[in-house]
Structure 1
Amino acid sequence: MHIQTAAVQTLRHHEHGAVVPPVHLASTFELDPGSEDGSYAYQRGANPTRAQLETVLATLDGADHGFAFASGMAATAAALSTLEVGDEVILPASVYGGTYRFVDLVLPGRGVTGRFVDDLGALTDADFTPATRAIFMETPANPTLRITDLRRLTELAHRHGAIVIVDNTFMTPVLQRPLELGADVVVQSATKYLAGHSDLLAGAITTNDESLAEAFALAQKAQGGVLSPGDSFRLIQGIKTLPLRLERQQANAVAIVDHLRGHDDIAQVWYPGSHSEDEARIHAGQATGTGAVLSFELVPELDRVAFLRALRYPGYAVSLGGVESLICRPATMTHEAMTPQAREKAGISDELLRLSVGIEDITDLLSDLDQALAEAG
């Protein structure tokens, strides 16, 4: 199936001929007194509605196993919790602030070391030690939009017995399928594009590795950070329009990039592939689009606060991927957990703005940006 068909048709043949899946709200399920067997026992361990969502998640990623969590960070934490005392994970310096916080503040207490590097794509065999057990990457990176060669890094990591975890939130399976490129685990903040309406928290993990799948199922049952049946249903419904929404969002983002690149009031625009011809080539070889997130800086003469206050349509808020456009300042919002030194190392300046482009009419978005730039002067 093409992904638009899979998004809509993965779940079929519901009870009574219903064209949408039922919502099973039960927290507990009756068992056979003789054998104490049953497909479901307690909602934390498994739930029919969540199971249907997990089937959809796995299908979209071309995975054997899918897992739904209560938030993107719950999914990321579960993926990183497979590491043990003495292990090391290598991450890009520009990783999402929530992931940075977990690796910097939580993992050390578990005896796990996180090593942040300036350019993940520049890793060589010499960068691996016997302790290196995982590589965690975002490509494109948040919010710099830097690109990492998934195939090369996966081959490199596997040579040293390390797994590769990819946060695919920005691309979604519509534009990039890391498992097909060799990655071991894909995590997503399903809050973003998969849900698409800024009205629920959810996280997703997919994998083809049986032992990792067992670990993620245990994380759900033992740690309890699972997605509720109601939100599982709403996420199933949101995913049905994912390809259509993303198509419009990406088209809008391309138009905004072209517009801002030629604007005298814009100092720099970043988008996937913008950093170098090599990164553009790599991205084109592993993804089928540039997505709908871009970052930019105003020229020093402009008043950033005046610009943000003058915007009529993009809301000044964290998060991304919803039908509405949102703009934020990563240094003080999404990446505030990082020290100023860490942000500088990651290439996240105090003036960098990240724009998540929605499905609004492009002429309205462009004229709004122009009037806000004029107000900022």
Structure 2
Amino acid sequence: MDERHFETREVHSHARNDQYGAMMPPIYANATYEYASPTEQQSEHRYSRMSAPTRGALEDSFAMLEGGEHGFAFASGMAAIDAVFASTLSPGDHVVAAKNLYAETHDLLADVYAEYGIETTHVPVNDADAIADAIGPDTELVYFETPTNPVLRVGDIEAAAEAAHEHDALLANDNTFASPYLQRPLELGADIVVESLTKYQGGHSDVLAGAVATNDPDVAEDIEYTQYTRGAILGPFDSFLVLRGMKTLSARMDRHCANARAVAEFLDDQPGVDPVYYPGLESHPNHEVAARQMADFGGMVAFELDGDRETVTEFAAGLEVFALAESLGGVESLVEVPALMTHQDLSPDELAEAGIDEGLVRLSVGIEHHEDLVADLAQALDVALD
């Protein structure tokens, strides 16, 4: 493995082998590639659904930053998550998953894979004993996010990996909220890591992309087969945008983390705000686990606002620097109300199971000046709680 620091590796993550000495991988906008003869290819590429140069550069970079040997890029984060399920599960298999998954991941297991005879047991991500107890003889996959979306619970990756492997199951981690700069699940024992590259790795709210990495050659073979047969590949232009974003990941994440810490500490002292969900606060129930397996605590903050739906709506709409929008991980700060927006399709029981109160607010803290972010939150709180 390259022993240089992450900040150096991210800048030089792709091989510079262009004939013109281009510093960035060229955008190869090709569907097909010429053969030398019917039995001899001119290069490793023959058709872009199978492999392509620009996407290949991104896949190599992603795998390297995650500490993996094999990487695969997809058209969205959900396409990457679907590829994990499609590649590892068969009818009759059992999945142990976190209770508070990303809403569409929950739906994928509950509405799509359940139709294939795949059963899912949901357990608290931050309860290692519950994860171990839920694994049975038919369990093929343990799957969770850490930190979770939207209430930022933190699961112990090493403990989950040990429990999964004891029963010959695989552990897959969604690392979107942390990125490989803050956390590398493969180095902590996970078999598969998946990310929405739309978020921190792309970093500029201008691209949809997802990726999977693994060190297991058998898993890699299955994911590669799923990638080219299902065809949810990432195109060359989007691959280029993510590659560009990767080069500044660490610099942006440092600012995201510093700003999120300032925002969380401010909110933690405000009347009408309780609790504040941020792993960097010592009051967070999973602070010690987060401190052990993460380099820093991320750019996401959530909190519950005292009041009804009207109160939280007025607060979110009253922000001026924070834009009212879904998604996360871009340079600009965003606010959303999960029960009314990203998780609106969950039933009241499912919302309660995931710990999502109607007064919950989720912030994606950007890279603006932290004093402007705090001032924006203060003025919106004053109006909404008046």
Alignment partner of 1:23 out of 23, 27, 32 = 27
Structure 1 residue 121: deviation in Å? 2.7
Report the residue type matching 1:43 in the other structure: S
Task: Indicate conservation of the 8 Å contact 1:146/1:273, yes or no.
Answer: no
- Shifted more, 32-41 versus 132-141: the winner is 32-41
- Shifted more, 180-189 versus 328-337: the winner is 328-337
Correspondence 1:365 to 2:347: no
For residues 273 and 361 of structure 2, what CA distance do their matches in structure 1 show?
11
Structure 1 residue 227: deviation in Å? 0.2
Report the residue type matching 2:326 in the other structure: V
Match of 1:343 in 2: 351
Correspondence 1:60 to 2:65: yes
Match of 1:314 in 2: 322
Structure 1 residue 125: deviation in Å? 4.4
Match of 2:296 in 1: 289
**How many residues get paired?**
377
Match of 2:202 in 1: 195
Task: Indicate conservation of the 8 Å contact 1:100/1:338, yes or no.
Answer: no
Cα deviations across residues 74-110 of structure 1 (Å, max 9, x unaligned)?
0000001120011011111111101001001100122
The alignment's C-alpha RMSD in Å is 1.5
Task: Indicate conservation of the 8 Å contact 2:179/2:200, yes or no.
Answer: yes
Report the residue type matching 1:128 in the other structure: I
For residues 278 and 153 of structure 1, what CA distance do their matches in structure 2 show?
18
* Bigger relative CO (Cα 8 Å, ≥ 6 apart): 1
Cα deviations across residues 351-375 of structure 1 (Å, max 9, x unaligned)?
1010000011111111111111111
Match of 1:95 in 2: 101
- Shifted more, 263-272 versus 82-91: the winner is 263-272
Cα deviations across residues 21-71 of structure 1 (Å, max 9, x unaligned)?
111001000112242434111110000110011111011011100110000
Task: Indicate conservation of the 8 Å contact 2:80/2:211, yes or no.
Answer: yes
Task: Indicate conservation of the 8 Å contact 1:100/1:337, yes or no.
Answer: no
Report the residue type matching 1:52 in the other structure: A
Task: Indicate conservation of the 8 Å contact 1:325/1:359, yes or no.
Answer: yes
Task: Indicate conservation of the 8 Å contact 1:101/1:337, yes or no.
Answer: no
For residues 149 and 24 of structure 2, what CA distance do their matches in structure 1 show?
35
Structure 1 residue 265: deviation in Å? 3.0
For residues 276 and 164 of structure 1, what CA distance do their matches in structure 2 show?
28
2:286 match: secondary structure = helix
Correspondence 1:7 to 2:10: yes
Task: Indicate conservation of the 8 Å contact 1:168/1:176, yes or no.
Answer: yes
Task: Indicate conservation of the 8 Å contact 1:146/1:275, yes or no.
Answer: no
Task: Indicate conservation of the 8 Å contact 1:70/1:203, yes or no.
Answer: yes
Structure 1 residue 279: deviation in Å? 1.7
Structure 1 residue 136: deviation in Å? 0.4
Q: Percent identity?
A: 42
- Normalising to structure 1: TM-score of the pair? 0.97
For residues 278 and 293 of structure 1, what CA distance do their matches in structure 2 show?
16
Structure 1: runs of 5+ lacking an equivalent:
none
Q: 1:94 to 1:353 in 2, by over 3 A?
A: same
Correspondence 1:324 to 2:332: yes
Cα deviations across residues 144-190 of structure 1 (Å, max 9, x unaligned)?
11111111111011000110000000000000000000000000000
Match of 1:109 in 2: 115
Cα deviations across residues 175-222 of structure 1 (Å, max 9, x unaligned)?
000000000000000000000011110001000000110111111110
Match of 1:139 in 2: 146
Cα deviations across residues 208-262 of structure 1 (Å, max 9, x unaligned)?
0001101111111100000001110111001111111111111000000111101
- Shifted more, 275-284 versus 352-361: the winner is 275-284
Correspondence 1:86 to 2:89: no
Structure 1 residue 123: deviation in Å? 2.0
Alignment partner of 1:270 out of 277, 283, 288 = 277
For residues 316 and 101 of structure 2, what CA distance do their matches in structure 1 show?
25
Cα deviations across residues 288-334 of structure 1 (Å, max 9, x unaligned)?
11100010111228822221121101111110000000011111222
Match of 1:33 in 2: 37
Match of 1:154 in 2: 161
Matched ranges for 1:164-203 at <5 A: 164-203=171-210
For residues 275 and 334 of structure 1, what CA distance do their matches in structure 2 show?
28
Alignment partner of 1:47 out of 40, 43, 52 = 52
For residues 377 and 287 of structure 2, what CA distance do their matches in structure 1 show?
26
For residues 356 and 304 of structure 2, what CA distance do their matches in structure 1 show?
11
Structure 1 residue 277: deviation in Å? 6.5
Report the residue type matching 2:25 in the other structure: P
Q: 1:300 to 1:80 in 2, by over 3 A?
A: same
Q: 1:124 to 1:328 in 2, by over 3 A?
A: closer
Structure 1 residue 141: deviation in Å? 1.0
